[in-house]
Amino acid sequence: MVSAWADAPVVFPSIAPAGFCLQTLQISRPSKPAIQGLESLWQRGFSLRMSLLAGGSKAASLHWTGERAVSVLLLGLLPAAYLCPGPVVDYSLAAALTLHGHWGLGQVITDYVHGDVPIKVANTGLYILSALTFAGLCHFNYHDVGICKAVAMLWSL
């Protein structure tokens, strides 16, 4: 089946004005795909279903909703940090900022890190970075002035 498909001519429209014939150009295609994982796609003539590309699952939908909820929460926490600074807002900011950053960097890893071992190393590093970030912000809130007052002090410079 692959060899019959590989010998089929490819038809390109002519550059000539309308009313002229189409030109036929024979292009030789390789008989085997360059990437072994795409053999089934090659044999089906590269026809993909949208369901394969969409990948709709309940977990992904809930994760997307959670990301949006944290973003909206941050939009509400920023004015609250200015209007009524305190420990509750400081620790809420520490949690929301850490989670927001963790999910954002997770998407960067998903987009730009490839291969099983590098992905595992990058995800492990991300979890360590997120845990240290949250611990550092909580330590700063408990032993120092807190996130809200620190930002206010920066603004007063």
Q: Report the binding-site residues for a ubiquinone.
A: 112
- For every residue of the chain, DSSP letters joined together read -HHHHHT--EEE--SSPTTSPPEEE-----SS-SSGGGHHHHHTTT---HHHHH---HHHHHHHHHHHHHHHHHHHHHHHHHHS-SHHHHHHHHHHHHHHHHHHHHHHHHHH--SHHHHHHHHHHHHHHHHHHHHHHHHHHHHSS-HHHHHHHHHT-
Amino acid at 86: G
Residue 93 has a CB neighbour count (10 Å cut-off) of 23
> Which residue numbers belong to the known binding site for heme b?
100
Binding-site positions? 100, 112
